[in-house]
Amino acid sequence: MAADTTTADTTTADATTDAGARSASGVATGIVAPAELLPILLVPDPRLRARARPVGPADADEVRALAPRMLASMYAAPGIGLAAPQVGVGLRVFVMDLQKDDAKAPMVLVNPEIVAASAELVTREEGCLSLPGQYADVTRPARVRLRYQDLAGARCELDAEGLLATCVQHELDHLDGVLFVDRLSALKRNMLLRKLAKELKARARD
């Protein structure tokens, strides 16, 4: 699957999150170029279901080494967000970049938590690098305020709305072992999971 569509902003079906497939090139450039890619785990890998633990001072070196590799893997996929459990690391870290063009704006969020969420909800189409090719409408708070630490350990706050709000909530879910299909009806979830299993099986045969 090469370049997906790069749609202009529309009110509906803005395929989002992990598998945003925004980048036309999919080629990692700039600061992440030398980093080694990490394999992205697919459903039903049990590591996607584990709750990640907070990053402590003793984890600082590991996280500093991990972040560029996660970004490179995300760009290469291509996707717009990637959480550490998706590469088999049980730490509360995720990376994202919502830029649509080649200008990179990578973000690394360590120990993120939602401290406020709007009562207003919004429905967007989501996808996930751990469930390739599967998309569904998910309803979540339209705006959230996030607290996190950056790679240097500095405390940061982020007010997110629109695609950014959807993306941070999707990635935060990963840190709790939750996938976007868990937020669908059982019927819809089972349909997507069956379709995924079938496609992965067909892919393995090729």
Residue with the CB atom nearest Zn ion in the bound state: 128
Q: Which is nearer to Zn ion, 120 or 144 (CB)?
A: 144
To Zn ion, the closest distance from the beta carbon of 26 in angstroms equals: 17
User: Among 36, 126, 171, 199, which one carries the catalytic annotation?
Assistant: 171
Q: Does the annotation count 171 as an active-site position?
A: yes
Total binding residues toward Zn ion, as defined by CB under 5 A: 2
Residues in region 8-27 near Zn ion by CB under 5 A = 18
To Zn ion, the closest distance from the beta carbon of 129 in angstroms equals: 6
To Zn ion, the closest distance from the beta carbon of 173 in angstroms equals: 8
Asked if 128 is part of the footprint of Zn ion (rule: CB under 5 A), the reply reads yes
Asked if 173 is part of the footprint of Zn ion (rule: CB under 5 A), the reply reads no
Asked if 126 is part of the footprint of Zn ion (rule: CB under 5 A), the reply reads no
Secondary structure string (H, E, C) spanning the chain: CCCCCCCCCCCCCCCECCCCCCCCCCCCCHHHCCCCCCCCCCCCCHHHHCCCECCCHHHHHHHHHHHHHHHHHHHHCCCCEEEHHHHCCCECEEEECCCCCCCCCCEEEEEEEEEEECCCEEEEEEEECCEEEEEEEEEEECEEEEEEECCCCCEEEEEEEHHHHHHHHHHHHHHCCCCHHHHCCHHHHHHHHHHHHHHHHHHHHC
To Zn ion, the closest distance from the beta carbon of 153 in angstroms equals: 26
The catalytic site residues sit at 171
Residues that bind Zn ion (CB under 5 A): 18, 128
